[in-house]
Amino acid sequence: MIPEIGHFALVLAMCLAIAQAIFPLVGTMNNTPSWAGLARPLAWGQALFLTIAFGALTYAFLVDDFSVRYVAANSNTLLPTVYKISAVWGAHEGSLLLWAFFLGIWSAAIAILSKSLTQEVVSRVLAVMGMINAGFVSFMLFTSNPFERLFRIPAEGRDLNPLLQDVGLALHPPTLYLGYVGFSVAFGFAIAALIGGRLDASWARWSRPWTTAAWVWLTLGITIGSWWAYYELGWGGWWFWDPVENASFMPWIAGTALMHSLAVTEKRGAFRSWTLMLAILAFSLCLLGTFLVRSGVLTSVHAFAADPARGIFILIFLLIVIGGSLALYAWRAPSIFSGGRFDLVSRESFLLGNNLLLTVFTFLVLFGTLAPLVYDALEWGKISVGFPWFNKMFLMVTPFLAVLIGFGPLMRWKRTDPAWLMKKLRIAMIISVIIGLIAFIPSISKGSLLVPLGMFLVAWVITSHITAIIDRLKHKQGISHFFADIAGKGRSYYGMVLAHLGVAMFILGATMVSHHGVDKDLRMSPGESAEISAYRFQFNGVVRTPGPNYTANQGKFTIFLDDKEVAVLEPQKRTYFAQGRPMTEAAIDWGLTRDLYVSLGEDLGDGDWSMRLYYKPFVRWIWLGGLAMALGGVLCISDRRYRTKKQKNQQLAQSDAANTLATENS
Amino acid sequence: MSGRTRFLIPLFIFLIMAGFLLKGLFMDPRHIPSVLINKPAAEFNLPTLYNPEKFISKADMKGKIWMLNVWASWCSACRAEHQVLNAIAGMGIVDIIGLDYKDEAADGKRWLQQLGNPYKEVLVDKSGRTGIDFGVYGVPESFLIDGDGVIRHKFTGPIYYPDIKGVLIPKLKEIRGEGK
């Protein structure tokens, strides 16, 4: 019964989404306020029914209702409760439901938090989001219904893929989807602006916090995914340039460009059509990612079961949404005045540089991801674009970006005096160059030019931002004003600084772990020891340990530094009952300056095991960098600018209204 | 390019891409293009992983039914496949020759030491030249080659356990059946 209620709720949500796509939009065109006013109630109704549907599926998992095909395929009575919940989005159908559910929630959030926007804008934004959700919900109902019943009810479910039975993977999809779905808001605002032909500072101001919020979720999602891959897949890597990883990374890069471009559009009124383009691009890449993951056009370890019917459906959907919005762009954007003149050395021009680099990088990743497909389709032969190519491209773009980041905060709008800038940054430059030169010492550089380069960039980003903060505080009431500034008006400024420092943290982690990491593959007998870097790993043998839905061989290692015990690690090799698949569960002793990581290989007989031991210096900084970027974004959103209800900004009555965007005044 | 046409560029790029995506739907990346099956495998002459002095060429394999498995230590899907290869080697149904594709020899050796070595020989294709001749699309891929050096079947992407019974054994039977 409950699954039927869920199914029915999904059908109702689809009907409401279709209505939401049509009536509010038409209402704003032919001046029918009663139609336009339907936007909010429809969004609430849609969110309600999607919540019911999502709740129904969760319930089916919790009570082990194996008459539902999706539950039978992805759960098991022995599965721990927390994974029964995360199993809801563990495969194709359920993850679509999560997508649609989140889109419903975001629509409702707009409906609630937009009290001060004009009805016209709200109706149009919600209509665009209604179109998107109409597509997703009907895709689910017609090709991938999560509530489908089985006629012969199995006694036991097939269990969730063991790889997914993990906290990291319980969190990874929801955060990622909140990011994807969040970009639909920026997209909706962009389409509304194109339809209305009005694109002013207030528009950019409305879009900014929503875009930043989406970006924060996406940043978290990617960070969690990378961290998960590191500890769960058992071979110590943290990024693989897999097509599915690229599918989440491309919208992130485009979204980063969009955030920066929106700043220019808000403050200076420049880059308008470019900002619109990026808003469309960021969300289009989210949709494209969905297509690549679910249609089976590319081979990937992550891929969901491929089904051409699904592929056709999503492709048609892509054509309507992306093709339609780009056509609208081609039609309306030329008439949008792009104002604001600026000099070659100015914040605008540097942000433009940042935008160009990020866009080029987005397209490089897109090219690398699609190249095998394009080559094949043109019958030029088959190619593979692997890890090395993407790394090379990444290393070609990131250093330039990091150099620009350093100049950013000191740059002034319109025009910056190059001589003044150089004078300001002289000390930062000298310190960074010295640190870069020190890193040429062979024991630090390990014979690679990339280590000095990385260290230079880290030092440059940090010292230039310190310079900028000092400069900022000099114009206020001095250095002692620092904390008052953070608590007060400067919050978005410090958010920006923190996010940029996150980039430095990431570069530090990635450089160190790539060049100073040590790993060894060994055959060890109980009692034997191995030296990795300064650490001695002592192997104490393997014992069998039972788990809730698996049994494990658990190894025990004691790790010494200078004959002092620093850690005990217990890696496992698990065999899950339901699927009989072995899984490696690595054991990690983590720290800010190094991780010690042990992953168990094969039983070689006589108590001997093959194993892999790692020393991973500064690897945590990769994810700490991601967290710092996300936290920086949160600081930016919480800036008072977006919250104060009344500002004395008279000339833009609408932007006044926009300030209440993220308030609690519902 | 001036005025309005400039704004049409994104749309054109997207439509071209959509064309490829559409075509992509009807090409299964996990299946062989028909041009490659029942055609002679590409010529090669490559050093082996454990003895760089020793070379193996296509001619050396003449008269044997064997499987060429293309892998690399940087390839995540290969790791999932590796235990299946170990199982195939354990069953002894066909000789597997590995092709370590665009990889460092040290990384490749380490990989085999950790995961076990299902290969009769491992060839090193550091430049990726031979892989390209074989039309390798993405690692892992495996080619089933008969005694005349003709490719009889291709696995694109990892081989899974069900493939052993479902594809590999019937194919081997078919190839061996003709020999008699």
- What is the CA B129 to chain-centroid distance, rounded? 13
**A18: which 2 tokens?**
């279709």
Asked if A449 has any chain B CB less than 8 Å from its own CB, the reply is no
With bands split at pLDDT 50, 70 and 90, how would you rate the model's confidence at A497?
Answer: very high
Q: Compute the nearest-CA separation of A144 from chain B (Å).
A: 18
Query: Does residue B156 contact residue B29 with C-beta atoms inside 8 Å?
Result: yes
Whether B168 shows a pLDDT value over 70: the answer reads: yes
Mean pLDDT, all residues of chain B: 83
> Is A549 contained in some domain?
yes
> Using the beta-carbon criterion (under 8 Å), do B113 and A610 form an inter-chain contact?
yes
- Please tell me the predicted confidence (pLDDT) of residue A665: 33
> Using the beta-carbon criterion (under 8 Å), do B137 and A372 form an inter-chain contact?
yes
**In angstroms, rounded to a whole number, what is the distance separating the alpha carbons of residues B168 and B88?**
9
Q: What is the pLDDT of residues A513-534, one digit of tens each?
A: 988 988 887 888 898 899 888 8
Number of domains in chain A: 2
Report the candidate in A207, A246, A12 with the shortest Cα–Cα distance to residue A125: A207
**Which of A:594-653 have CB within 8 Å of B?**
601-602, 610-612
Beta-bridged to residue A543, according to DSSP, are A554
> Is A233 contained in some domain?
no
Sequence letter at residue A481:
H
Report the candidate in A280, A393, A265 with the shortest Cα–Cα distance to residue A328: A280
Contacts of B67 (CB under 8 A, 6+ apart): B88, B94, B95, B96, B97, B142, B143, B144, B145
Whether A8 shows a pLDDT value over 70: the answer reads: yes
DSSP state letters, A308-363: HHHHHHHHHHHIIIIIHHHHHHHHHGGGS-------SSSHHHHHHHHHHHHHHHHH
Q: What are phi and psi of B96, to 5 degrees?
A: -110, 125
- Please tell me the predicted confidence (pLDDT) of residue A359: 93
> Is A137 contained in some domain?
yes
Please tell me which of the candidates A277, A297, A308 has its beta carbon nearest to residue B29: A297
- Please tell me the predicted confidence (pLDDT) of residue A611: 83
Question: Which residue, of A124, A150, A165, is where some domain finishes?
Answer: A165
ipTM higher than threshold 0.90: no
Residues of A in contact with B157 (CB under 8 A): 299
With bands split at pLDDT 50, 70 and 90, how would you rate the model's confidence at A202?
Answer: confident
- Please tell me the predicted confidence (pLDDT) of residue A277: 92
Q: Give whole-number Cα distances, A474 to A316, A471, A492, B31, in Å.
A: 56, 5, 18, 66
> Which of A62-76, A378-392, B159-173 has the largest mean confidence?
A62-76
A607: containing domain: 518-620
Nearest CA in chain A to B138: A384
- In order of start, what are the domains of chain B with their CATH numbers? 39-179 (3.40.30.10)
Percentage above 70 pLDDT, chain A: 90
> Is A294 contained in some domain?
no
**In angstroms, rounded to a whole number, what is the distance separating the alpha carbons of residues A508 and A454?**
7
Q: Compute the nearest-CA separation of A311 from chain B (Å).
A: 7
Please tell me which of the candidates B11, B26, B102 has its beta carbon nearest to residue A386: B102
> Is A187 contained in some domain?
no
- Regarding predicted confidence, which is higher, A665 or A295? A295
Question: Which residue, of A165, A196, A214, is where some domain finishes?
Answer: A165
Query: Does residue B63 contact residue B147 with C-beta atoms inside 8 Å?
Result: yes
Mean pLDDT, all residues of chain A: 86
- Regarding predicted confidence, which is higher, A332 or A487? A332
**In angstroms, rounded to a whole number, what is the distance separating the alpha carbons of residues A620 and A506?**
9
**A446: which 2 tokens?**
């390990």
Whether A652 shows a pLDDT value over 50: the answer reads: no
Residues of A in contact with B110 (CB under 8 A): 519, 521
Q: What is the pLDDT of residues B73-128, one digit of tens each?
A: 877 678 878 888 998 988 888 999 999 988 888 888 888 888 889 999 999 988 77
Residues of B in contact with A523 (CB under 8 A): 113
Residues of B in contact with A241 (CB under 8 A): none
Whether A285 shows a pLDDT value over 60: the answer reads: yes
Q: Compute the nearest-CA separation of A598 from chain B (Å).
A: 12
> Is A469 contained in some domain?
no
> Using the beta-carbon criterion (under 8 Å), do B11 and A330 form an inter-chain contact?
yes
Report the candidate in A583, A548, A590, A552 with the shortest Cα–Cα distance to residue A569: A590
Q: What is the pLDDT of residues A18-66, one digit of tens each?
A: 999 999 999 988 888 889 889 999 999 999 999 999 999 999 999 999 9
Query: Does residue B132 contact residue B154 with C-beta atoms inside 8 Å?
Result: no
Residues of A in contact with B20 (CB under 8 A): 370, 373-374, 377
Q: What is the pLDDT of residues A147-184, one digit of tens each?
A: 999 888 888 888 787 777 888 878 888 999 999 999 99
Q: What is the pLDDT of residues A533-569, one digit of tens each?
A: 889 999 998 999 988 888 888 999 999 998 899 999 9
For residues A2-20, average pLDDT: 95
Q: Residue A606 gets which letter from DSSP?
A: T
Please tell me which of the candidates A370, A384, A388 has its beta carbon nearest to residue B137: A384
Please tell me which of the candidates A306, A318, A601 has its beta carbon nearest to residue B18: A318
- Please tell me the predicted confidence (pLDDT) of residue A364: 92
